[in-house]
Structure 1
Amino acid sequence: MSQAVEFHHLTSGLANTARQAVIETQFVDDKGKPIDLNGGSSTPSAGSVTPASLGGYSAAAGRGKVVQVKADGSGFDFVAPVTAPTADTLAGATDTGKSLLKATDAAAARKAISAGTSSFSGSYDDLTNKPAIPAAYTLPAATAAALGGVKQGAAVPDLAADANTTTANAKINALLAQLRAAGVIAA
């Protein structure tokens, strides 16, 4: 029996909030008459369309193969299933890449790429091609024109609440002397 698809069109379901398309298809014979796939219903029940019901099915021809529509649309052919490439058959893969593809866990993957297998002792002195460590930096003295490092001056005690002018002047002068000695203000 010859079969052809007479029409198919997209429809939207009543509660189709996901905006999915539903395809309605009708199979017809070579005279254009609809083929009854399931007792007169235009929509076959789930699982009722089998390779045998599509016509031209032979258990010997189809065993271990997959159904593929013929190029001219006139029916179906049984073809060998496509085999996925393996790590060994993958073109262009290096030995390291193949080992990584074959790894079954994280430890095997690390081993395949030689991760975590360093011979470094942990001592900086054991490294090769290391940069020279420069001498320690010395801060220049601060000047009126340039920033620089300053030294901490000696502490000057706080003024007493009842200090007189002479005592206050002495404390201020001592503070100024410490600032000059530390390089904070010019001498």
Structure 2
Amino acid sequence: MRAPVDAAPTAPEASPGAPQRSDARRNRDKLLAAALDHFERHASEASLEAIARQAGVGIGTLYRHFPTRDALILAAHERWVAQLSEAAPELLAEMEPVPALRTWMERLATLGIQRRWMADAISAAAEARGGAPSPAYLMLLEALGRLLDDGRAAGAIRGDICAADVLLAISGFWHVNLAEDWQAQVQRLLDLLMDGLQTLRA
């Protein structure tokens, strides 16, 4: 009697959860993109229902990814910070270290001023972390550190300056009075900060 022919190997079954995970990632990305758009246009008045509609999902899907409004605000904040942090090496490739540093700090100051309605959500998250640094803060620290390092390497930035101190100084910019010409005030504050950061010049 002839031995049975071995059956051809079958492909492993796909994990039942894989499509859902992929769909979940896509839904989260769509929700975050819609949130960035609505927060940009409506700030604290942005509607979660409108965000879900723009993303093409139900409000229940939004809450599965972002259980609270603050969770969505924090995710948007981190995305904006990530974009700003990624701009640091791009600026250094386009200009000298000192103007690159000033341009980046101006963008950070503007981001903080225009998004300061997010402050309550950010503060609540900081309390929940018990003082541990947030991912957004660590991204800013790394980006600013690179800008300062390039400035020091060029002999243009003082060697005793650390990124954490500069971030703390910039956070003071976020209290400008929006009813006045805050852009001009930011430029004056940047002048003061840059004078303190740069090495003595003849």
Q: Which has the larger radius of gyration?
A: 1
- The alignment's TM-score, normalised by the length of structure 2, stands at 0.16
Higher helix share: 2
- TM normalised by structure 1 equals 0.17
Greater strand percent: which structure? 1
